[in-house]
Amino acid sequence: MLGTEQAILDAAERRIRGGGYNGFSFRDLAEDVGVKSASVHYHFPTKTDLVVAVARRYSERFYEAVEALKSDGSSPIDAWRGVFREALRVDDQMCLCGVLGAETNGLPSEVANEARAFFTRGIEVLSLELDEPSRAVEVFATLEGAMLLARSLGDVAIFDQATAHLG
C-alpha cells in the first residue's frame, strides 16, 4: 500500500524531529503505523534509506512552503519565518535537519549529507532573495536557533522574540 509508505514517513519524521536519529526504532514506527517491523523494512530496507527519504521529503516540502508563502505576497524573511513558526506551532517540533545537524557524528554519512544539503540550499536561496545577500547565513542561523530554544523551553513566544528583529 502507498498509504503505509506515507504513514511510515510521517511517523519517522515526527519521531526524528522529536528525538533525533538514534531516538527511535523500527519497532516504534511499526507500532505508530500499525504494522510489524518487518513491513517497515520492506518499504525501507535500512534505517539509512528511511531517514534519507524522510529528509528529502522534508526538504522538498519545506522549500515549497516557502515559495507558497512568498507567492501569497510575503517578504522572503516573513515567508521563512512563517514556515518555521508554523512547524513549531502545529507540531511543537524542531526542524528535522536542525535535529540531524546537531547530532552530525554518529549519523550515517548519507544522512549527514542530506542535512548539509538542506542548509546549503537554504543559504543559497536566501542569498538570492534578500536585498542584502550577506545576511542569508545570519537569518538562517537565527531561525534555526530560535526554533531550538523555543522547542526546548516549550514556548513559541521565544521564537517570536528571537526573530522579531529580522525584518
35 makes contact, choosing from a copy of itself, DNA, none, with CB < 5 to 8 Å by partner type, with: DNA
Would you count residue 85 as binding DNA (CB under 7 A)? no
77 makes contact, choosing from DNA, a copy of itself, none, with CB < 5 to 8 Å by partner type, with: none
71 makes contact, choosing from a copy of itself, DNA, none, with CB < 5 to 8 Å by partner type, with: none
Dihedral sign from CA coordinates of 118, 113, 14, 94:
negative
* Minimum gap (Å) between residue 118 Cβ and DNA: 22
- Return d(Cα 157, Cα 164) in angstroms, integer: 10
Choose the binding region for DNA from 32-40, 77-85, 109-117, 146-154 (rule: CB under 7 A): 32-40
**Per rule CB under 7 A, count of chain residues that contact DNA:** 22
* Minimum gap (Å) between residue 42 Cβ and DNA: 3
User: Of 102, 69, 113, nearest to 87 (Cα)?
Assistant: 69
User: Of 101, 95, 94, 136, nearest to 115 (Cα)?
Assistant: 101
Q: Of 9 and 79, which has the nearer Cβ to DNA?
A: 9
